[in-house]
Structure 1
Amino acid sequence: MSEIDETKSTVRNLSPVEAAERFIAARENRNSQKTVRSYRNRLNEFVAWAEENDIESMRDLDGWWLDEFERYLETTENAPTTIKGKMSALNQLLQYCASIEVVDERLPEKCEPPKLTREEETSDDLLASEDAKEYLAFYRDSTKHYGTIQHVVLELIWHIGGRISCFRALDYGDWYPDQRKLEFRHRPPTRLKKEGRHERNVLVCEPVAEALDFWRERERPEKRDDNGRRPLLTTSHGRASDSSIRCWAYQATQPCLYTGCPHNSDRESCSYTQRQHSSKCPSSRGPHAIRTGSITWQLNNGISYVKVAKRAAASPETIRRYYDKPDYDEELERRRPETENLDILTSPF
């Protein structure tokens, strides 16, 4: 082998961890921090698996090893959607490696993410409207918890149905109390998922506005973010992170706030009441479950798919496929106006 060929071989002989880091570094220039973090999390298991199986170079991978990794994912209690996400991330990594000639250009074709049924793709996890009523009634009547950040986050996610990124991006001036209006804008480094396409103005009801005003005037830490902007939702360090909003949602939906613990634990000593462990409570719900419940509830109230999609920042097709989760009685009530008096003898047709 010539000196040039030997150098070329050395440069392009990347280990799985080196390939993953190089791929993620390339993504940092074109994707949001949240997307980059998602790639990193999804590839971590592949990197650890490769190390355990003594795969020292990406060149060692072939169709058999890719099938072995997918089988490994299936035996480690990963949900079908999780397996698809991790295999999709690996496929993206292999495409990148093929483009820089680290692996054979045909290898990505052998890493095909599994096709899921509609039932496997969607989650039934949602905050039911009956539970949302219990939580929000508790907060609105409480002298201790009214206007806390947990209360405000629950009010906003439930009554709007937006994603975490929408609420994180809000600045102090995006709230217009006199009009009860919130303006969602894409202003990097805070981002909306579809950028300008998800910019919109949203109205909220008076109780939501009052809780938000209480938070803003009495509870909100007066902080600026790293870019000098005044966030609407803040912590003692500045703009709330995605993880902070997620934890607040979990804390807001712990049933022991207003009733006895369904798991026979004592709230005073339960570790799940702590911010860092709040997601472990079996009965609490995260932002996605609250968003799903909210969207279903809005549709049950007769709001059209198009209007709900605009309010929640999604397409009507996405709303139908992933977020509309009515039970049989809710479906019946949606049909009731057109069907309860359906009689052939009185029908004009």
Structure 2
Amino acid sequence: MSIALEDLPEEMQQMIESHKQTLEPLSPEDGVEQYLESKTGEIRSQTVEEYSRKLDHFLDYCDRNDIQNLNNLSGRDLKDYAKYRRENTAPNGRELTNKTLRDDMYILRDMCRYLAEIEAVDRNLSKKVDIPSLNVGDGVRDIQMDPDRVNQILKHLDTYEYASRNHVIWCLKTETGRRPSDIYALDVEDAYVDNDAPYIEVVHRENTQLKNGENGETTIAISDRVAQIIKDYINHKRIDGKTETGRKPLLTSHQGRLSKISIRKAVYQYSCPCIVTNECPHGRDIQDCDAAQKVNHAYECPSSKPPYALRHTYITEKRNQGVPIDVLTERCDASEPVIDKHYDERDDDEKRELRRQILEQARDERDNGGRYL
């Protein structure tokens, strides 16, 4: 039995009315359009098109369920949409894979956060978006890190350990997808952080050899934010020191160039959930937990991750966003067969659709330029 607003206590009526006034009516079509517009310039145009294609399923769901105003979108709707997406939208009557559904729900959650910012949905709605977990049987290793978790760690470092050595390690790992040995090999002179378009240069040198030798050498564009963090680290936090050959390592300790083991420990340490949340998902007493209290034991935490997890997460997410494989091959020093086998879990239909979009984009650019090739 429904209860009329006027039958509720006055205080509750005021609370409901106050909540209603904070929301501005917005149709699903306009909400998706505004969200995609907010992403323009933030991510590649090709990725925006990929987001649009995925959100078309959400618009279909809204049409089918007569959702005309996003103000009315509820947690139950989000759960129903996930079920609809899994069971009714995969090609050839198949059920959608956990991997594909997870990627779609990440986008939906991000859109809900944006919609909350423009007062179109409840501010807590994004928290009600369930992200499917992935198991080894889903085609990926359990080494994969949730991108939201990575962002939480980076935000923690931004806030509490800005421009520290560990902050730089995490920024470089999550910004480039490179191996620990590549980060270890960097010298101060390899960080072009004062450029208008900042970048780092990965060089194969004696005593700091790259896995693939000179074939692994490249320059890697970095964001202005990461460039500023590295610059502040060099100017204020870096322990001054040179190697026996006169080189100035970027990452240093009192003994000289920071060891590869120390780089690995930094990843294990900050991937322990309690570092950021101050809560243990495994029911341990943090004060008595060696993994939480001792850097050398951080790897013992069931939720901690090795450096490879950051590389895997970076490459996988970029492939999901439609970044061309040849771009990642050079940027991350990983061959196409390796990326295809270990980092690209899209099904054949998704790959075909993305290829179609890329070709259409190339055709449009050609037509606009009046050229055949």
The verdict on how the C-alpha distance between 1:303 and 1:211 changes in structure 2, with shifts beyond 3 A counting, is same
Post-superposition offset of 1:325: 5.0
**What is the aligned partner in structure 2 of residue 145 from structure 1?**
161
Q: Does 1:177 align with 2:196?
A: no
Per-residue CA shift, 1:298-335, capped at 9, x if unaligned? 12222111101110011111111123356x8xx96994
Instruction: Give the AA of the match of 1:271.
Output: D
Structure 2: gaps spanning 5 or more residues: 1-135, 358-373
The verdict on how the C-alpha distance between 1:321 and 1:178 changes in structure 2, with shifts beyond 3 A counting, is same
Q: 2:204 aligns with which of 176, 181, 186?
A: 186
Q: Does 1:202 align with 2:220?
A: yes
The verdict on how the C-alpha distance between 1:130 and 1:312 changes in structure 2, with shifts beyond 3 A counting, is same
Runs of 4+ off more than 6 Å: none
Structure 1 residues 1-349: aligned runs within 5 Å: 123-140=141-158, 142=159, 144-179=160-195, 180-259=198-277, 260-273=279-292, 274-324=294-344, 335=353
Post-superposition offset of 1:169: 0.6
Instruction: Give the AA of the match of 1:188.
Output: E
Within 2, Cα distance between the matches of 1:162 and 1:302? 19
Structure 1: gaps spanning 5 or more residues: 1-117, 340-349
In angstroms, what is the RMSD of aligned CA positions?
2.8
Moved more, 296-305 or 237-246: 296-305
TM-score, length-scaled by structure 2: 0.53
Instruction: Give the AA of the match of 2:183.
Output: F
Contact 1:292–1:324, Cα closer than 8 Å, also in 2 = no
* Aligned residue-pair number: 217
TM-score, length-scaled by structure 1: 0.57
Instruction: Give the AA of the match of 1:150.
Output: N
Post-superposition offset of 1:261: 1.7
SS in 1 for 2:309: helix
Contact 1:161–1:312, Cα closer than 8 Å, also in 2 = yes
Within 1, Cα distance between the matches of 2:352 and 2:263? 32
SS in 2 for 1:318: helix
Contact 1:174–1:182, Cα closer than 8 Å, also in 2 = yes
SS in 1 for 2:315: helix
The verdict on how the C-alpha distance between 1:279 and 1:207 changes in structure 2, with shifts beyond 3 A counting, is same
Instruction: Give the AA of the match of 1:309.
Output: T
Contact 2:319–2:343, Cα closer than 8 Å, also in 1 = no
Per-residue CA shift, 1:87-135, capped at 9, x if unaligned? xxxxxxxxxxxxxxxxxxxxxxxxxxxxxxx98x974412221211221
Within 1, Cα distance between the matches of 2:189 and 2:215? 21
